[in-house]
Amino acid sequence: MKLQEGEAKVNGSLALVSQQAWIFNSTLRDNILMGSPFDEAWYQQVLEACALKADLKMLSHGDMTKIGERGITLSGGQKQRVNLARALYADLDIYLLDDPLSAVDAKVGQHIFRECVQGMLRNKTVLLVTHSMQFLRECQRIIFLEDGRVMEDGPHNKLMDQGGLYAKMAEYEERRNKTEDKKTKHPIQESAMLSQPDEEAVLQKEDKEESSEGDKGWKALFNFFDLCTPKPLQLLILLSMTSFGLCRLFTTIWLQVWVDAGDGQEAARRANTTWLETEHTEEQWKGDLNYHPRLWLYQLVYGLIIVAMLIFGFLKGAGTMLTMTRGSLKVNTAPPPHLLGPWAHAQLHHDVPHGIF
């Protein structure tokens, strides 16, 4: 954020849990301690608060397992919890949590919010950035942002009484949760009252619905590809991916052909009775490949393969990155306007989404 007026001061030590979690190539314990002295009791509390104990049981060497580029690959949620544990273990004064709960599922998020934010950090100053409405009821102060500006400020009950944008979003979230609960409960309650033939009919209907949902899933994927780029460019990127893989494969094959050719005199040596009477290694039978009469041809073909691989690799990498970014920017993840009221028609078409602290 940019300071518009006044002064910004920090009183005390500060810890930042970034939205993009980072780890370095070392053990999981080293990633949490970051050079601090090891305190067994405090360390175990941190692991419990960040819901990492279950993950450690699945690792071959527990918290001494190496993670990072040369170690075990962690999921996005595991990286974020290690990121959070690193800040928590440091035991500082001020904590800036940049939406760490979005990387974990709902159950783990509730555990972290209860044990970490409300538990171990209860006597700290915590600034939590989140889009999850369910956590805001427990916060002492909520700052609602729109286009980088503070629109509403106060506790949950006060903002609900004001009936502004925050209240509308909270009401929408509550209606959506109730709708999802009804969808979950209704089939179970209904099936309990069905006879056997009716139950079979319902099962067949559910199978058809599941098949239809699968079709929608593939349709959504192809629609996303259409948002990314026109079909001719999709075909070009797919061709580049295939060609790049074939070029990598052909480099290995061509090198083997080149080595097997030797100096081109293997057939003459095997026809020589003097050579046949003595023992020779495989390399001696083949000869030095640098003396092959068509050495230039092998070098030319290999060089062309490398050039082709570089071209197709660039088209594949750059094309995928640019088109996927273009498609992602076009995807509208905002709530349906008819559920939010008339104000949504004016707001949901802006590029900058609403933010909630």
Q: Is the pLDDT of residue 209 over 80?
A: no
Alpha carbon separation from 248 to 244, 257, 278, 313 (Å, rounded)? 6, 15, 40, 10
Would you state the pLDDT for residue 272? 65
> Do 136 and 156 meet the contact criterion of CB atoms below 8 Å apart?
yes
Residue 115, both tokens: 């044990």
Q: Does 86 score more than 90 pLDDT?
A: yes
212 has pLDDT over 60: no
C-beta separation of 126 from 14 below 8 A: no
Mean pLDDT over all residues of the chain? 78
CATH fold of 14-130: Rossmann fold (3.40.50)
Boundaries of every domain in the chain: 14-130, 231-330
Q: What is the pLDDT of residues 51-83, one digit of tens each?
A: 999 888 888 888 898 888 888 888 888 899 999
- Residues 164 and 151: beta-carbon distance below 8 Å: yes
At 193, is the pLDDT very low, low, confident or very high (cuts 50, 70, 90)? very low
pLDDT grade for 131, boundaries at 50, 70 and 90: confident
Report pLDDT for 325.
80
d(CA 285, CA 261): 10
**Least confident segment among 12-26, 205-219, 279-293:** 205-219
Question: What pTM value is reported for the model?
Answer: 0.50
106-117 in b/e burial notation, b at 16+ Cβ within 10 A? Answer: eebbbbbbebbb
Confidence category of residue 149, pLDDT binned at 50, 70, 90: confident
pLDDT score at 261 = 78
pLDDT in tens, 214-241: 445 677 777 777 777 788 888 888 898 8
pLDDT of 197 above 70? no
Residue 73, pLDDT score = 84
Residue 278, pLDDT score:
67
pLDDT of residue 328: 74
pLDDT confidence bin for 194, thresholds 50/70/90 = very low
